[in-house]
Chains A and B, each alone.
Chain A
Amino acid sequence: MSGGAVPAVGAVRSVREALARIEAGDARINAFTAVLAERALARAAAVDASGAALPLRGVPFAVKNLFDLQGLATRAGSKIEREAAPASRDAALVRRLEAAGAVCVGALNMDEYAYGFTTENSHDGPTRNPHDPTRISGGSSGGSAAAVAAGFVPLTLGSDTNGSIRVPASLCGVFGLKPTFGRLSRAGSYPFVASLDHLGPFARSVGELAAAYDAMQGPDADDPAQVPRPVEPTAPQLERGTAGLRIGVLGGWFASMALPPARAAVERVARALDATREVLWPEVDRARTAAFLITNAEGAALHLPDLKRRADDFDPLTRDRFLAGALLPAAWVVQAQRVRHWFARQVAAGFADVDVLLAPATPCTAPVIGTEWLEINGQRLPARASMGLLTQPVSCIGLPVCTVPVWGCDPAAPHLPIGVQLIAAPWREDLVLRVARALEAAGAVSAPVAAAARPH
């Protein structure tokens, strides 16, 4: 595995070390909801016994607790699903990572049913930001980002419906990849909004991110929503640099809905890439609204039986939103899908003369846990929903995005990271990873292990 996080010390030793780091540090972070020591050590021993050339040999990883893990109930951040039957097999992406030699060591905290951007989970407690435990980790894949930022494991998986990989990657200062919609198999993962759900990896280096992503590619007959694509390896192309790439900076909504630290992060990345051209997408706020409506209605419809039977077993932070979503007029949702497709066509036309676009991933650095309101662009906005203002319009149309971590952009909180989205046309994950690698090599972005998470 490139990136150097996992030396060639043997899978059992790598896994034992990861388990020790989790044991020593997770009480302060609360990233894990299950640690699977016995399973992990057995698999690690099998990896060590194998002579096969495995690209992820011995890499310990963990997954958001909406991925099926054989023998565990897939709780998806909820109280309700704890009563579900244990999963009969691992999720497709877990199986692919383990087939490549990686070893799953546990399951990670998240917002209930992935409906949130903060991982302030009322059932399992909040996942704390490893760079400042008084602050949120972001969500909904907060445990996934925090586990990497804390150095517990070098690789995790999460899901992203409206920003749930990119928001926590931004707030925890790690690399996150949301692939193109339909690229990776979702088989064996608990859905949130089938129209918008993506799965993808987090890591502390671009090489690790690309190696994991490559291992997970490929068709899967068990996922009816996956788009048939050949495996298109990205790792061999990482060092090609940015020469010849046309890179622009998204303006308009993406500037006006970002606070100064987020804009400073984009400016720094743009300078490193010598990108000066501003690109404007039309009607971005309508695309964001479309994603908001589709999410609210589809997410609620999925849970309608439980909303009717046992609504008070939902997290107070999701319950009323799900209940309201069940009541939306159908025409709003159908029109939202039409607007979404219109927006995708406009943006696709714009990619005729640009390859990669830059935008902030979150409007600000990590807020303190419990923050209710943010002031953005002269408006007082609900803090939790607003963390997705800048990611939602991009995932709405399924574009691939790598979030890269930038440091020292917030004078009020210089210890906190903030992410920049590198966005490409559909199926061009190779481009966003190439640009991310160039930025990493230039020292403009990095994902150091958080000092606060280390054992005292």
Chain B
Amino acid sequence: MDLEAYVDAQCALLGLKLTAEQRPGVIRYLQLVAGMAPRVVDFAAERLTPADESGNTFVPVAPPLGGGR
């Protein structure tokens, strides 16, 4: 995986400009995270089904009392 190219593309998409000083640390950290991510992503692919959707819920926000008819 060419992380340098990935970082360039993502930064361009987000409008992030990395300085020469920031870039090595960002790539080093992204490498660390990329090394860990398969622990989650591969497990989800092998062991989880659509029924294991997270259920992260959004609670609709009601208007203040007396705000409607």
Flag if B30 contacts A304 (CB, 8 Å). no
On chain A, the residues within 8 Å of B5 by CB distance are none
Is A390 located at the chain interface by the 8 A CB criterion? no
Is A184 located at the chain interface by the 8 A CB criterion? no
CB < 8 Å: which of B14, B17, B37, B52 contacts A342? B52
On chain B, the residues within 8 Å of A325 by CB distance are 33
A320 vs B26: C-alpha distance when bound (angstroms): 5
CB < 8 Å: which of B26, B30, B40, B55 contacts A335? B40
Flag if A332 contacts B59 (CB, 8 Å). no
**B62 → chain A closest CB, angstroms:** 11
CB < 8 Å: which of B21, B33, B53 contacts A296? B33
Flag if A328 contacts B29 (CB, 8 Å). no
Is A410 located at the chain interface by the 8 A CB criterion? no
A339 vs B36: C-alpha distance when bound (angstroms): 14
**B25 → chain A closest CB, angstroms:** 3
CB < 8 Å: which of A312, A321, A326 contacts B19? A312
CB < 8 Å: which of A293, A296, A339 contacts B43? A339
Of the candidate stretches A56-64, A84-92, A283-291, A435-443, the one touching chain B is A283-291
Flag if A342 contacts B48 (CB, 8 Å). yes
What are the interface flags for A283-312 relative to B under an 8 Å C-beta threshold, 1 for contact and 0 otherwise?
A: 101100110110010000000100110011
Flag if A339 contacts B40 (CB, 8 Å). yes
**A294 → chain B closest CB, angstroms:** 10
**Total count of chain B residues near the partner, CB < 8 A:** 35
Flag if A307 contacts B40 (CB, 8 Å). no
Interface set of A (CB-CB < 8 Å, partner B): 195, 224, 283, 285-286, 289-290, 292-293, 296, 304, 307-308, 311-312, 319-321, 323-328, 331-332, 334-342
On chain A, the residues within 8 Å of B17 by CB distance are 308
Residue of B nearest to A337 (CB): B54
Flag if A327 contacts B40 (CB, 8 Å). no
**A72 → chain B closest CB, angstroms:** 29
Flag if A335 contacts B44 (CB, 8 Å). yes
Flag if B16 contacts A308 (CB, 8 Å). yes
On chain B, the residues within 8 Å of A340 by CB distance are 54
Flag if B22 contacts A320 (CB, 8 Å). yes
**B33 → chain A closest CB, angstroms:** 6
Residue of B nearest to A327 (CB): B10
| Majority DSSP secondary structure for residues of A touching B | helix
Flag if B18 contacts A339 (CB, 8 Å). no
Residue of A nearest to B48 (CB): A338
Which chain B residues (29-69) contact chain A, with CB distance < 8 Å? 29-30, 33, 36-37, 39-41, 43-44, 47-48, 52-56, 59, 61
On chain A, the residues within 8 Å of B16 by CB distance are 307-308, 323, 326-327
| Residue from B25, B37, B48 whose CB has the most chain A CB atoms within 10 Å | B37
Flag if A286 contacts B33 (CB, 8 Å). no
Flag if A332 contacts B43 (CB, 8 Å). no
A292 vs B52: C-alpha distance when bound (angstroms): 20
A440 vs B60: C-alpha distance when bound (angstroms): 44
What 10 pairs across the A-B complex have the smallest Cβ distances? Answer: A320-B25, A324-B29, A335-B44, A327-B10, A337-B54, A289-B39, A324-B30, A341-B54, A323-B26, A338-B54
18 A-B contacts (beta carbon < 8 Å): A283-B43, A286-B39, A289-B39, A292-B36, A296-B33, A311-B22, A319-B25, A323-B18, A326-B16, A327-B11, A327-B14, A332-B40, A335-B44, A338-B44, A338-B48, A338-B52, A341-B55, A342-B52
**A333 → chain B closest CB, angstroms:** 9
Residue of A nearest to B43 (CB): A286
A339 vs B55: C-alpha distance when bound (angstroms): 11
Knowing A290-B40, A332-B41, say if A324 contacts B33 (CB, 8 Å). yes
Knowing A224-B61, A312-B19, A327-B7, say if A289 contacts B29 (CB, 8 Å). no
On chain A, the residues within 8 Å of B37 by CB distance are 289, 293, 332
